[in-house]
Structure 1
């Protein structure tokens, strides 16, 4: 296993009676990545998370956290994990700071400096000495994240962390998770039913259906992907003239006409200037150019056949 691979699943399977809940899941999560977990209702997401953190036994397969086997070296592996499964649990009659002190006593080596560092990291400096019962749901989620990363885990697992949060709270959580990966080098595995938020939050997403891994898709491209083929839309005054001008001159994919207002075709970025040159020489007026990419929601519905997610 690579030194940069924090979480590794190999043929992880869960059977209950004759029913297979999770079917030979295999994937890796590298250091510093936010990895999303998506699937239709009953696909096995929460079951997989429970097996990763040892709340449920695997029927087959193995999970490694930072190189340590969850089944063979459970205690050592769990020292590398921070998790919130469903809702963060804490003592509401205590302050946020008192909750963190209480949790720190359960983990060796957590200093006062580390507690202060984590409080600052999740942005609770101004409210940490108030009782938790006065916290909003978003603040409780942030305190839960602070509690989960006190012992400097390599892996943070969040099951539906955006449940009940308003848009501002969701954005705050997204920003904090990104900050964690950048400043602490933590890998984050997050399960959520909000596809738009997962698209903004995650570097990659795994899509599972009926317990099987269907696909793993990157969500954020970088410079090395600049040459990748993308669907490019040209808003034109004369689509038929454009198609005639392009036919046989440039190697393009299938050209689609868009309601008589333009054309769409798959292109590599470097070929766009050549297309423009041909169209201008043919006397076609071009009003705009844009790339058309499928949203995560479109991709998800395409892969799963429109099944509802949870």
Structure 2
């Protein structure tokens, strides 16, 4: 198995506080690897260490089979990145910005600029300075800059911020094409779990600087199963009735109003009948499927990552 990027006990301390703690990630060639974590979990700091913007306090980073050092410029040249908010020469146009980027990267294929703009749907923007771009257009231009030099790996921090649903789908399709057809490896973070679920091959859950879990999306999908979601004004009584009278043990109280029943062999009509018979008010009851969000929240809460 070929790994493009691996970290070994990667750690970063800021002002006496450990913000990244002994993180070991393993990213295979050609896959889309999704970083999941709440704001402040350490995702961006890890990406900055991978791109040499921040130096690790301890641990190692291996990229393309080589250890990353202070002078690994040849390795960094094989990557395209967006870390946090992309910065441009605002008074220049999109093509001019990409031309400058290619110059200082030593990349002289001028056709690549038009190809990159076409891929991110910015080829029809002419005579418009970047300062007049919307947030979504700036994000697209940032991705164009990341891919224009034909890198082997993309590192993208929240790349779909500011995009409308159509733009998000277009970039989702682009990432799939880059990964599956061009063999690019893509590391990306996003707070939109539904998008990660649609494109990622592997996910890593980061919490308070620690890697909680690294797992393939195939494994996550294999665990997904149907469940019955009950909304009621009295969860305590409903849970008592279901467990005591109906002998249902495979259930979970989500909050004050929602219970999930994971034993779907019991007919939904029987659940309704039992609750009504015991004077439990049912606001709604529906059959649903588990999601990446369920998985993510379960892992963060310290539970077993089970969607079934």
TM range (shorter): 0.7 to 0.9
2:26 is equivalent to residue 39 of structure 1: no
Structure 2 unmatched runs, 5+: 229-261, 272-286, 303-308
1:57/1:130 CA distance change after superposition, 3 Å? same
1:74/1:261 CA distance change after superposition, 3 Å? farther
2:225 is equivalent to residue 231 of structure 1: yes
**1:95-126: CA deviations, max 9, x gaps?**
11111111111011331122222222223222
Deviation of the 1:230 alpha carbon: 5.7
1:201/1:136 CA distance change after superposition, 3 Å? farther
Deviation of the 1:259 alpha carbon: 3.5
Query: How many residue pairs get matched?
Result: 257
For 1:198, what is the secondary structure of its paired residue? Answer: helix
Structure 1 unmatched runs, 5+: 235-252, 263-290
What is the distance in 1 between the residues matched to 2:105 and 2:40? 34
CA contact (8 A) 1:12 1:63 kept: yes
Greater mean alpha carbon deviation, residues 9-18 or residues 81-90: 9-18
**1:41-62: CA deviations, max 9, x gaps?**
4321111111111111101111
Greater mean alpha carbon deviation, residues 200-209 or residues 122-131: 122-131
Q: Could you list the structure 1 runs, at least 4 aligned residues long, displaced by more than 4 angstroms after superposition.
A: 253-256
What is the distance in 2 between the residues matched to 1:102 and 1:229? 48
In structure 2, the partner of 1:29 is: 27
TM-score by length of 1: 0.73
For 2:6, what is the secondary structure of its paired residue? Answer: strand
1:301 to 294, 297, 300: 297
What is the distance in 1 between the residues matched to 2:177 and 2:133? 22
CA RMSD, aligned part only? 3.0
TM-score by length of 2: 0.74
Deviation of the 1:260 alpha carbon: 2.8
What is the distance in 2 between the residues matched to 1:121 and 1:164? 18
In structure 2, the partner of 1:242 is: none
